Each structure stands twice: as structure tokens, then as C-alpha cells.
Chain A
């Protein structure tokens, strides 16, 4: 069973740039969620994709967008980066939308300078 993998593990961007983060979901999982963990905070829900459709969004501006592909892998895109976007971005996959636990990747550490 292949777990959740995220790439890259770290990256540094400049304010105003755009970034794409990638996530491969665990085998058999059709739902992917993205979370942002800023320093000293718990993970904050960004959005969720279920069968290639956005299925819920947290309190994040439209410059945060995503995609889910037919193989259920996913991308998180952030445009016009701001300093406050510096955080750990976690991807989690799960089966369906019910009460199953989330399976997380190791995260991508984004630093915006």
C-alpha cells in the first residue's frame, strides 16, 4: 500500500510569485484535503477534493486554488504569494467523505521572502 507523498519537501519563493504543490493520495483513496499549518498553530483546512470536484473550502482567498486528477492525485496552487503564506502545507487523503481517518503526507515547507 503506497502512502501519501508530497513534493517538493521544501521551497523558497519571493513575494508575488506563484507556487504549485503536489500530492499523490494513498492507493484507493478518492478524497484529498489540503491543510495549512502556520508556526504555532494547528492545521487549518484549505479545501477538499472528491472525485475531481472541489467539495468544500475553508477561509482562504481565491488565490488559493487546486485540482484533483483522475488518478486522485492533487495540486495546490497559490498565486501572488504573501509573506503570511509561509507555512507547512499538508495533504491528506481519505476514502469517501464519511468518518474515515485522514492519511497525511509529510508536508511541503514553503518559505516566502
Chain B
């Protein structure tokens, strides 16, 4: 079972500010890195699936980068809005689409 770490565990961001957080994972036997957004009372929603070293993906104001050689991914939120408040989960894939999740980054955007 892979050890996936996310930091910081929680953060408060002023509306309009940009923020970022880190996911670290074992770089050996890497298959893919997933990011999910999980809003309260909803189900986790896929943001990105990334496979290639140096990959960058963007969805609206949210973007992610991937470094498979050193085993980390950054998630960026530009110009945070209250609707960005959620827990952001990253997961490293091992085997047939099995995911090892981190504990999440809990983001609270303060209006």
C-alpha cells in the first residue's frame, strides 16, 4: 500500500487570494496521480488524472502540476472563491485502477 501525504492538512484563504498545496507519493512504480474535490454533503468529484512527468492540467481557476521523478504534485487555486471551499484529495494509482489516497487538504475560503 502506497503512502500518500498531503500538506497542509487545512488552510484558510481570503477570498480573491491564490493558494496551493502539495501531494507527495512514492515515485517508484508510478501509474497515475488523481485529484478530487470533495464538497460537504456531496460526493468526491474528479478534477484531474495525470500520468506524465511535467504534466500540467487546468480546469477553470484550478490547475495542477506533476513531478513523477521526485514524487510530488501541486494543486493551485487562483483567485479563491467561496465555492472553492472543499477538501481536495490526491491519490496515487497502483495496480488496476486502485488508488491510495492522502488525507486531503481542507480549504476554507473566507468571504
Interface size class of A (residues with CB under 8 A): 20 to 34
Shortest CB-to-CB span from B41 to chain A, Å, is 8
Interface size on B, residues (CB 8 A): 27
Q: Return B20 CB to nearest CB of chain A, in Å.
A: 19
**CB within 8 Å: A-B pair count:** 70
- A42→B103 CA distance, assembly (Å): 4
What residues of B have a CB within 8 angstroms of the CB of A55 in the complex? 96
Are A31 and B89 CB-contacts (below 8 A) given A99-B31, A103-B46?
Answer: no
Answer yes or no: B59 CB below 8 A from chain A CBs. no
B97 touching A33 by the CB < 8 A rule? yes
Identify which of A61-69, A70-78, A79-87, A90-98 touches chain B. Answer: A90-98
In the complex, are the beta carbons of B46 and A43 less than 8 A apart?
A: no
Interchain CA distance A104-B97 in the complex, whole Å? 14
Interface of A is mostly: loop
Are B102 and A99 within 8 A (Cβ)? no
Q: Is the CB of A43 within 8 A of B89?
A: yes
Given contacts A40-B103, A41-B103, A42-B102, contact A98 B97 (CB under 8 A): yes
Nearest to A50 among chain B residues (CB) is: B96
Whether a CB of chain B sits under 8 angstroms from the CB of A59 is: yes
**9 A-B contact pairs sorted by A residue (CB < 8 Å):** A3-B43, A33-B98, A44-B101, A90-B43, A94-B97, A99-B93, A99-B97, A102-B44, A106-B43
